Amino acid sequence: MDENDRQVGSDEIGELVVRGANVMQGYWKDPEETARTFRTGRTEGEVLLYTGDLFKKDKAGFLYFVARKDDLIKTKSQRVSPKEIENALCEIDGVAEAAVIGIPDETVGRSIKAIVIPENGSHLGQYDIFDFCRKNLEPFMVPKFIEFRSSLPKLSNGKIDKKRLIEESG
């Protein structure tokens, strides 16, 4: 569904909405989160779960994950998926891992910052990263800032701790 609760067409990005008898009725003792995430369906007793996951549907109806709704970076009037930029960065020879965050920018809303972990022995520089991004990404997706590190902070589940990266960049 789009932001106006209309079903999106093929090759459009929309939020995944789940319905059915197996959808829970809400969050335990959290009415605010329940109100934000769940909505009443068209039929009596039907509950719709707005997952917060953004997907793109192809012409055959197959769904492709794009990003978490709350992970998107709004920059230059565009919504950018950090995952898409991270995937592109990891295609560069010499990049072991990458994370992308949005940082406050008075002009464009949020600027894109890439944190890159080079492979051992790699001689990558900022120019190499910028050059690759300019050639392989839409102009509004090219990071404004690139930072090299030896590692990324991780959560206990092994995922990159983006909140910590944002705090450290603030």
Q: Where along the chain do its domains lie?
A: 13-69, 72-169
**Residue 45 — pLDDT band, cuts 50, 70, 90?**
confident
Pairing label, strands 78-80, 47-57:
unpaired
Percentage of the chain surpassing pLDDT 70? Answer: 99
The residues near 103 (Cβ < 8 Å, ≥ 6 apart) are 110, 111, 113, 145, 166, 169, 170
Res 170: pLDDT: 66
**164: pLDDT strictly greater than 70:** yes
Which H helix or E strand runs over 53?
Answer: strand 47-57
Mean pLDDT: which of 14-28, 43-57, 115-129 is highest?
115-129
Percentage of the chain surpassing pLDDT 90? Answer: 48
Q: What is the pTM of this model?
A: 0.71
**Residue 152 — pLDDT band, cuts 50, 70, 90?**
very high
Q: What is the pLDDT of residues 65-114, one digit of tens each?
A: 887 887 888 888 888 889 899 999 999 999 999 999 999 888 888 899 99
Q: Please give the structure tokens belonging to residue 165.
A: 């990266």
Mean of pLDDT over the chain: 89
Could you name the CATH architecture of 13-69?
Answer: Roll (2.30)
| CATH code given to domain 72-169 | 3.30.300.30
